[in-house]
Amino acid sequence: MIELIQLPWSPYCIVQRRILEFAGARFKITDIPTGDRSRVWRLTRQRYYGVPVIRSGKAVIFEVSEESQVIAKYLDNRFQLGLFPWELEGVQSLVWRYIENEVEGVGFKLNDIYWREVVPASDQVAFLRHKERKFGRGCIDQWRAQQKELLAQLEQRLVPFEEMLMYKPFLLDQRPRFVDFDLYGILGNFLYSGHYRLPAAHTHLRKWHQRMARVQHQLVACEDDVPF
C-alpha cells in the first residue's frame, strides 16, 4: 500500500492526495508536525525534509528540486493516468509554474491568516517560527491587514484559468491533466480554512472545481469527452 506523508493543508500534499483518489489507489495518510521532519529525514536517508513524500514498499519518492514533479510523474506512470502526455509537455511546464508561483504565492498567505484554526495547538509555535524566519516578523499580521488586496490579486490571477475553461471541461483538453490537479491543490490550500469561496465571477472555474472534486480515472479512461 502507498503511504502519503503530508501536512494536510499543504497545497502540494493536496495535489498528490487528489491524484491518488483519482487513481482509485489504496493508500494511507501519515500526518507529521510542522516542526518535526525527522520521519521524512529518516525515510529519505537524510536527503530531504519537505512534504509530500510517498512511500511504496521499499521505494521512497520525493521531489529533487523546486521545479520537479517527481511524485506526480511516479503516480502517473504507476497507474497509467495520462497526466503528462508528451504533446502537452511544454504547455504544462509553463502553466504549472504560473500556478505554483503566481497563484500559490497569494493563496497560502490568505490561508495562513487563519493559521490558529488550521494548525494543531501543539504545533503552532513551530509553525509561526517557520513563517517568521522565512517572511519576517509579523508577516501574518501584515497579510491579515492586506486581506482584501490579496483576495483581489488572487481573483485577477485566476482570470486565465476562467478563460481556459470557457470552452473545455478541463484546463487543456477534454480530460484532467497534471495542471488540473496542480491548480486544484493550490486552491485547496486557499480554501482549507473554510473562510473563503472561489470568486463568484469565475463561474467556469467554480464548475471545474466541482468537477475536479469528483472525477475518477476509471470513468474517463475510455472516453474521448467528459460532459460539462
pLDDT-based confidence at residue 222 (cuts at 50, 70, 90):
low
Q: Dihedral (C-alpha) 201, 203, 204, 207: value to the nearest 10 degrees?
A: 140
- In which residue are the cell numbers 477534454 written? 174
DSSP calls for 191-225: HTTSS----TT-HHHHHHHHHHHH--HHHHTT-S-
Q: What does the alpha-carbon distance between residue 105 and residue 119 come to, in Å, rounded to a whole number? A: 19
pLDDT-based confidence at residue 223 (cuts at 50, 70, 90):
low
46: left (phi over 0), alpha (psi -120 to 50) or beta: left
The pLDDT value recorded for residue 175 is 97
- List Cα–Cα distances, 137 to 81, 83, 129, 134, in angstroms: 43, 40, 9, 9
Domains of the chain: 2-79 (3.40.30.10), 86-220 (1.20.1050.10)
SS3 at position 61:
strand
- List Cα–Cα distances, 198 to 192, 205, 209, in angstroms: 12, 8, 9
10 Å Cβ neighbour count for 36? Answer: 11
Helix (H) or strand (E) holding 31: strand 27-31
Average model confidence (pLDDT) across the chain = 95
pLDDT-based confidence at residue 220 (cuts at 50, 70, 90):
confident
Question: What are the tens digits of pLDDT across the range 77-98?
Answer: 999 999 999 999 999 999 999 9
Question: What are the tens digits of pLDDT across the range 143-171?
Answer: 999 999 999 999 999 999 999 999 999 99
Question: What pTM does this model have?
Answer: 0.95
Decide if pLDDT at 228 tops 60.
no
The answer to whether residues 23 and 54 touch, using CB atoms and an 8 Å cutoff, is no
Question: What are the tens digits of pLDDT across the range 169-209?
Answer: 999 999 999 999 999 999 999 999 999 999 999 999 999 99
The pLDDT value recorded for residue 35 is 86
